[in-house]
Structure formats: C-alpha cells, structure tokens
Amino acid sequence: MRLWRRSATPNLVESLRRQVVLERASRQNAGSGKAALIAHYATTARASRSVNALVRSLLEHDYSVTLVSSSPVRSALDFDPYAAGGLTVLRKPNLGYDFGSWAVGLAMTKGISGQDTVLLANDSMVGPFWDLAAILTALETSSADVFALTDSDQFSYHPQSYFVGYRRGVLAEPALKRFWTGVEHHDDKNTVIGRGELAQGRLLRASGFSVTAYVGSRRVVEPGVNPVIHGWRRLLELGVPFVKRQLLTEPWVAGDAHEIPAYLKGHHDVDVKEWL
C-alpha cells in the first residue's frame, strides 16, 4: 500500500528552496548530537513568550535550535536576547503548514537527519510553563525510534506532531527520508492532517519503527478522543507543560476549556494571557 501520493509537480522542498532565507544564524557551536526544528507562524514580528520559552529551554539543554517561520511579516523576527543568541531562523513562504516547515528545515540543515536526537516541534501549543528537563531526558534515553510527548488513536494511531523526537539517526532511514522529501502543500486542513500526521503514523507502523509516548492517550482520554483537546487538565497533572492554543482562542471546542486560565493561575501561578 502506498502511504502518500507522489506528485507530478516538484515537491514542496524543491519548489521553495530558492525562496528560503537565512534570517539569523546561531552563534553557538553545534556538536551535542541534539537538534530541534520548530515550525512557526505569527502575524507579528515579536515572538510570543511561549516561543521564547521553548527555544530557551531547548538551548539550555544543549540543543541546536532552528526555527522555520512562515510568518508574512516583512521585518526580522524579534526574540528575547538569550533565545536570539543561540537560534537559527529560516524564513519561507507560507506553504506546506508545519510539515512543510519541518521538511524545509530537514532539507536545509546539513547533517541533521543523522543526529542522535532530532526534535520536531511547533508553536500550536501555549507553554512550556515549566522546564522541559524531565521530558527531554525521557526522549534522550528512550530506546524507541520515535518519541512523542503525546500520542492519539483518533482516526488511526499516530504520534501527535506538535512534539516528536527521532532517535539514533532514524530520519536518515529510506522510508522516513522518502516521506519527508515528498511533503506537499494542500489547502484543505483535513488533507494536511491525513497526508501528514496520520500518514506518518501509518508509515511508522508499516515500516516497523518503534514508537512511544511520554504520556499515552489511554492514560488521559477514552479511545478515539484527542487528548490535547479533551484531556488538557490530566496532561498538565501528568507533567505536560503545554495547553493547545486552540483551546484558548476557540474554547467552545472543549466543554471545560474556559476553565484553563483559572486552573493555570491556581495550580501553577501562570497568567496564560501573557503566553499567547
């Protein structure tokens, strides 16, 4: 069975290669064997507190960090001084959504696929509200090929793509290399999910890669339910320092999402509005 469709037109990475701009190069030396790619989109130049905190936490744990931004803002993106010093920023047209940004980052960051630990993350979550040490230690010591912060069996089993780590050079394996070099742009969000997150989940299983999650969905929600939407409270209790941004901007998607600001303030002294 073919898990993704080959296009007769050039793939997304090749079509965008000449339009990608290196806006900022890291001043830190790479060599830790740990790298992170963050898919980013914003309508303002100033990076949110969430993005700055994510970058800072990864840098503090010796990751080389590249942010691949599809922001339409013409001016340079603005980060906190600590984050800015160690961060590489690539700017690309707003095509391909997060999987397009990760595909561009993988193609244009020399040697990244062979690194011992490669983390792909995005800015769809608010946080991290506390340090990522426990999660990153679990990632870096995992015996699995692929480590997700959370997984889901909604529609079909898959690691939830907002925070997924790949171990011991597995991204250089032919099946995953074909997947990432074959990423295409689709306008329809459901098609993006089907050809991205869900397709990768099927590919990982069909190809025999081992997958684990820091917090499995069955610890949080009933089968077939999205844990980051309907299990936000339990995820926080289990040490996941994020909530999905959509729950704050569109609280009607989950019946209790309106309780998030008060919960974070009462349990973690977090004013979530400052993190958006």
Rounded CA-CA distance 155/40 in Å is 26
- What pLDDT sits at residue 3? 37
How many C-beta neighbours within 10 Å does residue 110 have? 8
Mean per-residue pLDDT of the chain: 93
Position 259 in a domain = no
Place of tokens 């792909």: 120
pLDDT at 2: 33
With bands split at pLDDT 50, 70 and 90, how would you rate the model's confidence at 33?
A: very high
- Higher-pLDDT residue of 130, 3: 130
Residue 194 domain boundaries: 12-221
**Is residue 92 one of the residues assigned to a domain?**
yes
Do the domain assignments include residue 109? yes
CA–CA separation, 138 vs 150, rounded Å?
A: 13
pLDDT in tens, 80-130: 998 888 999 999 999 999 999 999 999 999 999 999 999 999 999 999 999
pLDDT: which is higher, 192 or 205: 205
Question: Which tokens hold the place of 141?
Answer: 């010591």
Beta-strand ranges (E) seen in the chain are: 21-24, 34-40, 64-69, 87-91, 117-122, 125-126, 146-152, 158-159, 163-167, 211-215, 243-244
How confident is the model over 136-191, as pLDDT tens digits? 999 999 999 999 999 999 999 999 999 999 999 999 999 999 999 999 888 877 78
CA gap 148, 120 in Å, rounded: 10
Residue 87, SS3 per DSSP:
strand
What pLDDT was estimated at residue 30?
65
What's the chain's length in residues?
276
Q: Is residue 19 part of a domain?
A: yes
State pLDDT tens for residues 50-84: 999 999 999 999 999 999 999 999 999 999 998 88
pLDDT-wise least confident of 6-15, 163-172, 188-197? 6-15
In a domain, 36, yes or no: yes
Map tokens 């309508």 to a residue: 43
CA gap 178, 100 in Å, rounded: 14
pLDDT at 10: 58
Q: Is 43 a domain residue?
A: yes
State how far the Cα of 251 lies from the Cα of 209, in Å rounded to an integer.
Answer: 36
Residue 25 has pLDDT above 80, yes or no: yes
- Tell me whether residue 178 is in a domain: yes
Distant-in-sequence, close-in-space partners of 154: CB < 8 Å, separation ≥ 6 = 224, 225, 226
Say if strands 64-69 and 243-244 run parallel, antiparallel, or are unpaired.
unpaired
CB atoms near residue 257 (< 10 Å): 21
Any bridge partners for residue 171, and if so which?
none
Q: In angstroms, how far is CA 164 from the centroid of its own chain?
A: 6
Overall number of domains in the chain: 1
- Average of per-residue pLDDT across 247-273: 97
- Which residue is it, tokens 């599809």? 70
Q: Is residue 248 part of a domain?
A: no
Per-residue burial over 226-254, b if 16 or more Cβ lie within 10 Å, else e, is bbbbbbbbebbeeebbbbbbbbbeeeeeb
Question: What CATH number does residue 32 fall under?
Answer: 3.90.550
The Cβ of residue 1 has, within 10 Å, a number of other Cβ atoms equal to 4
Tell me the pTM.
Answer: 0.93
User: Residue 194's pLDDT band (boundaries 50, 70, 90)?
Assistant: confident
- According to DSSP, the β-strands at 243-244 and 158-159 are unpaired
Beta carbons within 10 angstroms of residue 111's beta carbon: 9
pLDDT the model gives residue 193: 81
